[in-house]
Structure 1
Amino acid sequence: MPFRWSGRAVQTISAAAMSALLLTSAMKHFREPQFFSQVVPDYLCREEPVTGPDATGDGNTPHDGGTRHLAVMSREEWIAVSGLLEAGAAVGLLIPVTRRATATAVTAMFTVFLAGHADALRRVYGPKGSPAQRTAHTVRFPLQLPLILWAWSLRSTPAGRRP
């Protein structure tokens, strides 16, 4: 007789896999923060205002003379906070009671990350981008969609259970 997977077992395994992925990524945020540096948009980073051709890192002078109105943290702080959020989400996905809320938050987080990936693509296809950076970010950007869909799928209640 073939083995049949219950909806609950499939969701638990899927949540554990997403949790492992998030935890691995969270650890990488602290071990290799430079890997995430290009994905943090410049306009979010509280850094010394720079004027001139290198203000945004893409060869263009910012329209506001170097002031970044949306900047609330440094690039390093954004990387650390996103690593902490991913670590917290990894735990939340493993707890059935918090899984739906956490999966919703992870879906939103991955969706927000699209802005960073789009900004990174814009910059690496500028004059300072290297072919390796172009390849890496061209591959990373579309990978967000399966992650978003996967996180969203963890919101569903397994068959045979009430919400």
Structure 2
Amino acid sequence: MPFSWSARTTQTISAAALSALLFASAKKHFQEPRFFSPVVPDYLCREDFAAEHGEPNSKEPTPRNGALAVMSREEWIAVSGLLEAAAAVGLLIPATRKAAARGTTLMFTAFLAGHVDALRRAYSPEGTASERRIHTLRLPLQLPLILWARSLAGVKRGV
């Protein structure tokens, strides 16, 4: 008897694969947070008072760029790692898969801002050739990720 793939089997395998990718990325957020530093836009990051003034015991945050600068770069990286881990778990559970896929689609779409900002900085006078190569490759990878998550959410074109 020949084996045939059902749509449900294909979706389950696809969800498991995206989940594995998200788990790996979440793990990397905590093991190598510096990898993600360039894709956190400066306008989202506050600086710690201590870092600005050389006072290691001070915990008082100081907004750098206004209302959006609510967390430090390290906190944004940790939160995004936690969101990726939560999305990975949600994709593995059939009852939460559609909601997790929609959330993952939104998350990947929101990450575009960071990738565009990193690319802008890479091509600024302070950017290096290595940064230009890395971010020129990294930005377009977001589109297939967005489309992959969107396909798991069951979103059809024009709907």
- Whole-angstrom CA distance in 1 between matches of 2:93 and 2:12: 9
- Select which of 74, 77, 87 maps to 1:76: 74
Give 2:102's aligned amino acid. T
Counterpart for residue 38 of structure 1: 38
- Select which of 104, 112, 115 maps to 1:114: 112
The structural deviation recorded for 1:48 is: 5.2
Counterpart for residue 52 of structure 2: none
Alpha-carbon RMSD across the aligned residues, in angstroms, is 1.9
Counterpart for residue 100 of structure 1: 98
- Whole-angstrom CA distance in 2 between matches of 1:48 and 1:24: 29
- Whole-angstrom CA distance in 2 between matches of 1:131 and 1:13: 38
- Decide whether the 8 Å contact of 2:44 with 2:65 is kept in 1: no
Deviations 1:84-140 (A, max 9, x none): 000010000000000000000000000000000000000010011111110000000
Counterpart for residue 17 of structure 1: 17
The structural deviation recorded for 1:38 is: 0.3
Structure 2 unmatched ranges of 5 or more: 50-63
- Whole-angstrom CA distance in 1 between matches of 2:65 and 2:104: 31
Q: How many residue pairs were aligned? A: 143
- Decide whether the 8 Å contact of 1:45 with 1:68 is kept in 2: no
Q: Secondary structure at the match of 1:38?
A: helix
Q: How does 1:128-143 map to 2 (within 5 A)?
A: 128-143=126-141
Following superposition, which runs of at least 4 residues in structure 1 exceed 6 angstroms of deviation? none
- Decide whether the 8 Å contact of 2:98 with 2:152 is kept in 1: yes
Q: TM-score, normalised by structure 1?
A: 0.83
| Larger RCO, structures 1/2 (Cα 8 Å, 6+ apart) | 1
Give 2:80's aligned amino acid. S
- Decide whether the 8 Å contact of 2:46 with 2:65 is kept in 1: no
Kindly indicate which of the two structures has a greater share of residues assigned to helix: 2
Give 1:7's aligned amino acid. A
Alpha-carbon spacing, 1:124–1:101, altered in 2? closer, same or farther (3 Å): same
Q: Secondary structure at the match of 1:29?
A: helix
Q: TM-score, normalised by structure 2?
A: 0.85
The structural deviation recorded for 1:4 is: 1.1
